[in-house]
Chain A
Amino acid sequence: MLEEGLREAGYEDIHLVPPQGAFVARLERIAPDVVLMDLGSPSRDTLEEMLAVSRALAKPIAMFVDQSDEDMIGAAIDAGVSAYVVDGLRKDRVKPILDLAIRRFTAFSRMQTELEEAKTALAERRTIDRAKAILMESRSLSEADAYALLRTTAMNQGRRIAEVAEALITASSLLGGKM
């Protein structure tokens, strides 16, 4: 996703290096101007070690584009992206790369959050349906009445309907009811 965006923006010499095994040696051979890395990657320490001791890269690398740009650093950390830039590469050339990376990473994490939310909603829907079925059978209620009972109970107890439904299913299974 990031690679595509960078290519669209006119950067061509892009290498994807999975941070496993001998990735540091590969990086040294490529001798990149900029390294972008997921802030959540446990291999950041390995990369930084290379930057500290590498002879292949004459001048080690500074983290983030401009240490004085607190907003950008904050945005990068929020988005979960870290950038290592070869000292001497012009700032105005690096900034758009990092900007783009931040935008893409943010968009990606938003998508993931939305996906998680959709999954949770679906799971809750199923829980509520099961709880309704238990009520309909054990108390001979209509579906609408079963739902109304769940909702009223939730409101009275200040809890979410899904929580009440969950508790009902647990209680019913403990009492040996049909699930």
Chain B
Amino acid sequence: MTPISIAFLPLTDSAVLVAAREKGFAAEQGIDLNLVRSTSWATLRDRLVYGQVQAAHMLAPLAIAVTLGLSQHPAALAAPFKLNVNGNALTMSTAFAAALDPDLPRRIADPEATAHDFAAAIGLHFRKPIIGVVHRCSSHALMLRYWLAYAGVDPDRDVVLRVLPPSLMVEALRAGEIDGFIAGAPWASVAAAEGMGELVAVGARIWQRGVEKVLAFRTPWMDEHPELVDPLLVALSRAAAWCDNPANHEELAAILAGSFYVGQPAEFILPALTGRMIPRLGEPAVTIPDSLLFHREAAAFPWRSQALWIYSQFVRWKMVQPSAKAERLAADVFRSDVYRRALGKAGVPMPGASMKLEGALDAPRGVGAHRGALTLGPDRFFDGRVFDPHHVRDYLAELAGR
């Protein structure tokens, strides 16, 4: 057994790593998987960058930010495997949400209308709303900014985005330090169950196939150790298939509830897995299609176009100066070549391309694949805009013209 250490944060989307260890998928590949619990993204990042662990459960935009030198010490990181797609939710205090559509299923199903309602609600609120985000370089923050900007809200001017660890969001909401937050599971369910807030929007409705966490390595280490990386990805791919299977959701929720992992009751973890979320205390559950994906539709495949979408948003919000070099560095963080090498032999359906238009699919569609049949699910952005990774500048000009 070869030991490999991976740092993670106690979130539902650490599921694939946890299942790989607890359900024996790692051991099957001869890997003694040691999971290192971390309580902040900064500490997880430091553990990876300074070599205390070989890999980490990382926010996809953070892996790109570290590579571009936007988050403390610059280091080349590589993400050959996505740990999940979707899973985020925007929760607001009941006081703020009173100005939104009271029909909760309709509010959640129609992010266009809700964005406009939200813009109006900002003016009605007693102060500039303070919204908790887990990190400036998080998919959550980028998705929230994208959604607000659609309705003419300038996220740097009209709201205050405050960085807070997900585990402190509900407490901050209770103390009135924030008016809402966007975070991954299980925190929206915890806030609703404690009567502290209600669901306003879900990531899966803003971008139907939103990039979330990736497995990140230091690039030099990954390139030097294919004999470890390849079996690890095989183990994770099998674990992801296990996590996606509805028959296993109860067991998965029970494992994640353990105090070493998420440390929250299984009943708060299950909703994101099953896509049945309670939007507000005392209300019936609403169905969120594709609320969290681990495996199907090649969910783990690191499309280079998705790394470029993240880069485009960094440029849009002036977090990075646009340059051909930065664009190439960002795209290279998503290592679809390593995914192909590691999983090509394992019988996993393999997309024919490594870039695609993001947001172009209205309905599930079969696509060219090297092995087996591969169907990609709908991946629309809620505003219908399509991201062409070959024309980042045109895309940004279009967004700015809105």
Contacts and interface: CB of A to CB of B under 8 A. Distances in A.
Interface of A: 21-22, 39-49, 52-53, 62-64, 67, 70, 73-74, 77, 82
Interface string B25-67: 0000000000000011111001100101000000000000000
Given A39-B46, A40-B39, A45 B72 contact: no
Given A48-B72, A82-B42, A21 B175 contact: yes
A48 B72 CA distance: 9
Contacts of A82: 42-43, 46
Contacts of A43: 40, 164-165, 168
Contacts of B39: 40-42
Nearest to B71: A48
Contacts of B175: 21
Interface of B: 39-43, 46-47, 50, 52, 71-73, 134-136, 162-165, 167-168, 175, 177
Given A21-B175, A52-B136, A63-B73, A42 B46 contact: no
B46 A77 contact: yes
Contacts, number: 62
A51 to B, nearest CB: 9
B302 to A, nearest CB: 24
A39 B163 contact: no
B40 A41 contact: yes
Contacts of A45: 40-42, 134-135, 163-165
A40 B39 CA distance: 6
Contacts of B50: 70, 73-74, 77
B43, B52, B73: residue with the most chain A Cβ atoms closer than 10 Å: B43
Contacts of B40: 41-45
Q: Is the interface of B mostly helix, strand, loop or mixed?
A: loop
A96 B357 CA distance: 53
Pick the most buried of A39, A42, A46, A77: most chain B CB atoms within 10 A of its CB. Answer: A42
25 contacts: A21-B175, A21-B177, A40-B43, A42-B39, A42-B165, A42-B167, A42-B168, A43-B168, A44-B40, A44-B43, A45-B42, A45-B164, A45-B165, A46-B163, A46-B165, A47-B42, A48-B42, A48-B71, A48-B72, A62-B73, A67-B73, A74-B50, A77-B52, A82-B43, A82-B46
B136 A49 contact: yes
A13 to B, nearest CB: 25
A91 to B, nearest CB: 16
Contacts of B163: 45-46, 48-49
B288 to A, nearest CB: 26
Contact of B72 (A21, A63, A74): A63
A42 B46 CA distance: 14
Contacts of A49: 135-136, 162-163
A62 B50 CA distance: 15
Nearest to B163: A49
A46 B43 CA distance: 12
Nearest to B42: A44
B348 to A, nearest CB: 34
Given A21-B175, A46-B163, A49-B162, 5 more contacts: A40-B39, A42-B167, A45-B42, A45-B164, A63-B72
Contacts of A77: 46-47, 50, 52
A82 B71 CA distance: 15
A40 B43 CA distance: 7
B63 to A, nearest CB: 15
Nearest to A62: B72
B49 to A, nearest CB: 9
Contacts of B43: 39-40, 44, 82
B378 to A, nearest CB: 33
B176 to A, nearest CB: 10
Nearest to A49: B163
A77 B162 CA distance: 26
A60 to B, nearest CB: 10
Nearest to A52: B136
A160 B177 CA distance: 50
Contacts of A42: 39-40, 165, 167-168
A66 to B, nearest CB: 11
Contacts of A48: 42, 71-72, 163
Contacts of A74: 50, 52
Contacts of A64: 73
Nearest to A60: B72
Contacts of B134: 45
Contacts of B168: 42-43
Contacts of A63: 46, 72-73
Nearest to B43: A39
B354 to A, nearest CB: 31
Contacts of A39: 43, 46
Contacts of B162: 46, 49
A74 B46 CA distance: 10
A143 to B, nearest CB: 37
Contacts of B177: 21-22
Nearest to A48: B42
Contacts of B73: 62-64, 67
Contacts of A40: 39, 43
